[in-house]
Structure 1
């Protein structure tokens, strides 16, 4: 659907950013609309169309009025997200900014070229704008999630949804699908490496307590990717989306105190509470990840290679090997079964699969194993993996009994969209909206003029 592509571009365009293809700033030529306290510029729509075109390989049939209404919907969500006191994690924002900058660098090259292409004064100016975009996008996403959080579908609704598609001749066709299971073996740091990390953090703690700058220490030593943007600083509440250990450390000490080293899924930290403001705390932290030696990586690979050989030789079943050896907590208790995060189903359609995963399993038959492969998470975990093709389903027209989970998700998606549309109708009535210029002549889906 065309609006799926619209939403792919919203994160960069609707909040006043600059097109990937633009070589200079687009002149701001007036206010197209105001929704609540949010302003939409005429140039926002121009920039949005440019970004949409740059991200599509084909011509998208969409009018300025359709784009305008979709942008107004997002601004409506953002406005009421503020009214509803939706919390947005500063860590989430910082990580999103760093991922975006890394993406731009991979596309364009040197970061100075990125700054110049987008027309900003310097990198900090770019980061500030990206932070604003990331914050508002997170606000929009969380408000939307809250609106549809309680929406569920009954088996009867799922059957009705399926029957309606069947009667209209609109049942989807699915390509070849596979069901997969995995075994992972992590490469863990040695106790010496962990102790070395803790001692380094303790030395930084001592220095800060002796008067050295925590901000400078974070810039020099922290392995948190957001440190270049914020010097390791976050504003945190008990409801923030930080991991439990981080919040516990932040709320266990007083202003200006420095915590003892503590562990999270990201590595080892110390933090300093710089300021307490009611239920909020401004904290600055240093993150260091214990080094993982090459011999530990080699040992993990060797162990998994041996397990793979035992499975092939029928000395142990794959399910037994998962239960006995796999380090992946998310799949170990489920016989290693992988879940498709896009569909919440256990089936992966080959022609829509992640390219890296496709390369591993393409050509394998039921019961065959992939070779041992290395992976690393964003959190820095390093591990080796093998994947079993548990089942393969040939291409077919969708069937309720065979594809029940898919129809459940489709029906749920439709009901959530209907709930969201009802929310738009009601909230537009209670929100200040002003349309200017040609926008007033649009034939919108919702009644924005009231």
Structure 2
């Protein structure tokens, strides 16, 4: 049924983000609980505590859990290990740098989720660096699993006839009611501060460097007081970066950080994306560096914002006069770095351009409140995620009314679901051939409670 498929997909997506953290960060609360192995795939094991903790954490994160959630999680764990082991057999490429970059991204997500590094470390019962060392094999397994799955289903496609057949099989009383969705694009200008302001910030940061080097103040204390990156400021500017993590840090920051010697403090360096950084290298191991940083964002004045608004007025006129499309104008004029890779439209978590209103920032919600489909706003001032002030044009491309799922309004959604089902069928056939080539053992109690797990067993030995 469609509703269950959608809910299950959402649940498993959330699970894939949680499972690695759970497996490595169960902390003090689980130490007194007797644990046991409930699954084996090759030389890899699945613990009962992994499954129990995954269910508990998914519930705490507000996921809507199916009644058979433990069975789904156990099957997901078995499948992930089978796919990862096959990826190793097939020598699918995965570099250490890829794994490190993924770990950095996950850790930043967890820090954001828990509010601070110290809160994350309290929950995990270990430092971030210990957590990363512990989770490295789990992240690698997950990435190998994803690569193998992609290889298996990469050539699977869906036809319009198959999409309609999929939809026609959904009982009419099971078709979900969908909330309103929008397609919203933006063209962003992020004006630079005046030279006088930038010079002032630069000289002020030179002063910070002298104060730290003279011993008048510590880097940690100064970062907590003046840094405008509040996540790192809370922990005295401490951050760990990977040289290959270019999606998060711009080249100027990375090249400066990795040129420094241990203990050395840089001169202020300018990042067009963020602002001015003062960087100290704490330690380095290959492409991984532990740093401390202070960020200052030179403020723009109303004068700079007025110039940006005037430019966007001209861009808006070009689009209105059909001299250029909104999309092409975004590629030509926008300062938003995401435009180059993802286009000018706000994306959903699944990569779709259709979003609900809660995916938009509060300033954008205010902007589109009285707009009609096809409207382009006048230039409006906003503050981005990095704390920089800018001006943007907002384009409301489409807006659906709340409605029952149907082929006319929701063809792309139904097509995606039909394709996922077809990929699942292809993967099942692949598993039927591959499972006998692995040593797989599942706990007898688990197979009794979850009969679907019995298809994975290739050994009848007990635990």
Q: TM-score range by the shorter chain?
A: 0.5 to 0.7
Aligned counterparts of 2:84 and 2:17: Cα–Cα separation in 1: 13
Instruction: Choose the corresponding residue for 1:28, options 30, 33, 39.
Output: 33
Q: 1:61 to 1:260 in 2, by over 3 A?
A: same
What secondary structure is seen at the aligned counterpart in 2 of 1:88? Answer: helix
Give the CA deviation at 1:204: 5.4
Which whole-Å deviations, capped at 9, do the CAs of 1:233-258 have from their partners, x for residues lacking one? Answer: 53635577654334433455666665
What secondary structure is seen at the aligned counterpart in 1 of 2:184? Answer: strand
Map of 2:143 onto structure 1: 142
Q: Does 1:284 align with 2:288?
A: no
Aligned counterparts of 1:240 and 1:386: Cα–Cα separation in 2: 27
Which whole-Å deviations, capped at 9, do the CAs of 1:126-155 have from their partners, x for residues lacking one? Answer: 75686578767754553344335565557x
1:146-161 pair list within 5 angstroms: 146-148=147-149, 152=154, 157-161=158-162
Given that 1:30 and 1:42 are in contact with CA atoms closer than 8 Å, whether structure 2 keeps it comes out as yes
Aligned counterparts of 2:238 and 2:109: Cα–Cα separation in 1: 15
What secondary structure is seen at the aligned counterpart in 1 of 2:159? Answer: helix
Q: Does 1:183 align with 2:187?
A: yes
Map of 1:61 onto structure 2: 67
Q: 1:388 to 1:228 in 2, by over 3 A?
A: closer
Aligned counterparts of 1:431 and 1:243: Cα–Cα separation in 2: 44
1:67-106 pair list within 5 angstroms: 67-74=73-80, 84=94, 85=96, 86-89=98-101, 91-102=104-115
Q: Does 1:379 align with 2:383?
A: no
Given that 2:266 and 2:280 are in contact with CA atoms closer than 8 Å, whether structure 1 keeps it comes out as yes
Aligned counterparts of 2:360 and 2:445: Cα–Cα separation in 1: 43
Map of 2:23 onto structure 1: 15
What secondary structure is seen at the aligned counterpart in 1 of 2:289? Answer: strand
Instruction: Choose the corresponding residue for 2:50, options 44, 49, 63.
Output: 44
Aligned counterparts of 2:138 and 2:216: Cα–Cα separation in 1: 37
Q: 1:256 to 1:397 in 2, by over 3 A?
A: closer
Aligned counterparts of 2:62 and 2:276: Cα–Cα separation in 1: 42
What secondary structure is seen at the aligned counterpart in 2 of 1:366? Answer: coil
Given that 2:18 and 2:58 are in contact with CA atoms closer than 8 Å, whether structure 1 keeps it comes out as no
Aligned counterparts of 1:353 and 1:240: Cα–Cα separation in 2: 25
Map of 1:447 onto structure 2: 456
Instruction: Choose the corresponding residue for 1:365, options 372, 384, 394.
Output: 372
Given that 2:380 and 2:391 are in contact with CA atoms closer than 8 Å, whether structure 1 keeps it comes out as yes
Give the CA deviation at 1:49: 2.8
Which whole-Å deviations, capped at 9, do the CAs of 1:266-291 have from their partners, x for residues lacking one? Answer: 333354555565x4353524241323
Give the CA deviation at 1:99: 0.2
Aligned counterparts of 2:431 and 2:251: Cα–Cα separation in 1: 35
Q: 1:257 to 1:132 in 2, by over 3 A?
A: closer
Structural RMSD (CA)? 5.3
Provide the TM-score with structure 2 as the length reference: 0.66
1:292-311 pair list within 5 angstroms: 292-293=299-300, 295-296=301-302, 300=305, 304=309
Aligned counterparts of 1:414 and 1:439: Cα–Cα separation in 2: 26
1:279-358 pair list within 5 angstroms: 279-293=286-300, 295-296=301-302, 300=305, 304=309, 322=329, 326-328=334-336, 330-331=338-339, 337-342=344-349, 344-346=351-353, 348=354, 354=360, 356=362
Given that 2:447 and 2:454 are in contact with CA atoms closer than 8 Å, whether structure 1 keeps it comes out as no
Aligned counterparts of 1:310 and 1:223: Cα–Cα separation in 2: 32
| Unmatched tracts of structure 1, length 5 or more | 105-110
Which whole-Å deviations, capped at 9, do the CAs of 1:67-101 have from their partners, x for residues lacking one? Answer: 32223445667788999555222642442232022
Q: Does 1:194 align with 2:198?
A: yes
Aligned counterparts of 1:78 and 1:228: Cα–Cα separation in 2: 38
Aligned counterparts of 1:446 and 1:132: Cα–Cα separation in 2: 34
Given that 2:35 and 2:47 are in contact with CA atoms closer than 8 Å, whether structure 1 keeps it comes out as yes
Give the CA deviation at 1:196: 3.5
What secondary structure is seen at the aligned counterpart in 2 of 1:161? Answer: helix
Q: Which has the higher helix share?
A: 2
Aligned counterparts of 1:38 and 1:364: Cα–Cα separation in 2: 55
Provide the TM-score with structure 1 as the length reference: 0.68
Which whole-Å deviations, capped at 9, do the CAs of 1:340-365 have from their partners, x for residues lacking one? Answer: 3445454x365786585566535642
Q: 1:413 to 1:64 in 2, by over 3 A?
A: closer
Q: Which moved more, 1:40-49 or 1:172-181?
A: 172-181
| Unmatched tracts of structure 2, length 5 or more | none
Q: Does 1:267 align with 2:275?
A: yes
Map of 1:108 onto structure 2: none
Q: 1:215 to 1:363 in 2, by over 3 A?
A: closer
